[in-house]
């Protein structure tokens, strides 16, 4: 039996693969190694998996390729589960390169579903959604039962489209699927376009950081190990159809603890041993003021219990950053 992981060279994907291998799974990983951010970081994540090649195989391909991914799946008929994490990330980048989001997120998701449903022994597809689907909702905390019909970015719209397509395929083909709405994931090996990385880099280099909405923002920051634990719990739990004939469920994976942006910066400053030079700026288009996850259902049905707060997780990130960049 094997697990397909898309986005294998990504932050969450590479960390998840280590956890799957640790528990004895065979993993088939795919990633197109695009240059949205430093490809060397992606290659470094994969290099950490080199000594595990007996149970892990990597394939460089684009998930939106309607021939390559199905062909790979046909060559690995023992794939019984999949974790689909590959996507074009970033809210702000969607303002300048919108076509990348439709191709990778919407088309890519469709290709993954089509490839998986044709596998002879396939059991369950887990895929990454996002807290961005909540858009401008003001009711806090965000619940999976809340309406999500008003996205404020194209990125969010494509993630919501993945949820809707999954619900449709669950209905049409009785294909079990689980969507996970991630809330601001951070930690070692994280993405360079995320706040922890951007702030740490700038602070250590003595350069200013941009603080949007004049610092009046809050986020439900979630540590990578907690996210991976939640993903594995979801993979192990094939959903029972909440609606007859539709085995599809959606969960929040967040820390259930919203933090102010200024407190977040303060923890990074302390870990770096110096104060940030702050440029206070207006809210950016497509951004939201606050995110906060209601994880009651995730706790009850997945046993999801986030453990790491920013005062523990951010110093771990800063330590990794220093070691990786040798600063």
Which of the 8 DSSP states describes residue 293?
B
Confidence of residue 286 (pLDDT cuts 50, 70, 90): confident
Closest CA to 299 of 257, 254, 239: 254
Q: How far apart are CA 93 and CA 155, in angstroms?
A: 9
Q: Parallel, antiparallel, or unpaired: how do β-strands 248-253 and 177-182 relate?
A: parallel
pLDDT for residue 90 is more than 90 = no
Given 37, 101, 155, 223, the catalytic residue: 155
Residues 4-45 pLDDT 10s: 999 999 999 999 999 999 999 999 999 999 999 999 999 999
Q: Give the mean pLDDT of the chain.
A: 95
Confidence of residue 287 (pLDDT cuts 50, 70, 90): confident
- Tokens linked to 203: 């602070």
Determine whether 155 is an active site residue. yes
Residues 139-184 pLDDT 10s: 999 999 999 988 999 999 999 999 999 999 999 999 999 999 999 9
Could you say which architecture CATH assigns to the domain 2-183+224-256+289-307? 3-Layer(aba) Sandwich (3.40)
Q: Parallel, antiparallel, or unpaired: how do β-strands 208-211 and 277-280 relate?
A: parallel
Of 214 and 311, more confident: 311
Q: What whole-number percentage of the chain has pLDDT above 70? A: 100
Q: How far apart are CA 266 and CA 47, in angstroms?
A: 33
What's the pLDDT at 245? 82
Residues 92-146 pLDDT 10s: 888 889 999 999 999 999 999 999 999 999 999 999 999 999 998 889 999 999 9
- Tokens linked to 327: 């600063």
Residues 59-71 pLDDT 10s: 999 999 999 999 9
- Tokens linked to 37: 């951010």
Confidence of residue 242 (pLDDT cuts 50, 70, 90): confident
pLDDT for residue 236 is more than 80 = yes
């Amino acid at each position: 039996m094997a697990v397909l992981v898309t986005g294998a060279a990504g932050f969450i994907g590479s960390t998840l693969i280590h956890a799957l291998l640790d528990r004895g799974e065979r993993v088939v990983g795919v990633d197109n190694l695009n240059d949205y951010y430093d490809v060397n970081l992606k290659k470094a994540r994969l290099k950490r998996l080199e000594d595990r090649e007996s149970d892990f195989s990597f394939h460089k391909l684009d998930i939106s390729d309607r021939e390559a991914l199905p062909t790979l799946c046909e060559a690995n008929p023992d794939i019984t589960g999949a974790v689909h994490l590959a996507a074009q990330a970033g809210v702000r980048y969607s303002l300048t390169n919108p076509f990348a989001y439709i191709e990778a997120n919407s088309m890519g998701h469709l290709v993954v579903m089509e490839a998986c449903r044709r596998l002879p022994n396939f059991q369950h597809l887990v895929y990454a959604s996002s807290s961005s689907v909540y858009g401008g909702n003001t009711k806090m905390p965000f619940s999976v039962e809340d309406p999500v019909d008003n996205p404020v970015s194209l990125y969010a719209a494509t993630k919501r489209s993945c949820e809707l397509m999954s619900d449709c395929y669950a209905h049409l083909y009785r294909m079990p699927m689980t969507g996970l709405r991630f809330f601001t994931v951070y930690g070692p090996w994280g993405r360079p376009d995320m706040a922890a990385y951007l702030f740490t880099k700038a602070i250590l280099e003595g350069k200013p950081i941009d603080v949007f909405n004049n610092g009046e923002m809050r986020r439900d920051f979630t540590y990578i190990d907690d996210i991976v634990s939640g993903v594995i719990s979801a993979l192990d739990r094939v959903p029972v159809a909440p609606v007859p004939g539709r085995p599809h469920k959606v969960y929040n994976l967040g820390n259930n603890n919203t933090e102010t942006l200024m407190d977040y910066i303060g923890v990074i400053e302390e870990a770096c041993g110096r104060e940030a030079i702050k440029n206070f700026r207006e809210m950016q288009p497509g951004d939201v003021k606050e995110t906060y996850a209601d994880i009651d259902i995730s706790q009850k049905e997945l046993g999801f219990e986030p453990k790491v707060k920013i005062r523990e997780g951010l110093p771990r990130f800063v330590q990794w950053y220093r070691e990786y960049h040798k600063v």
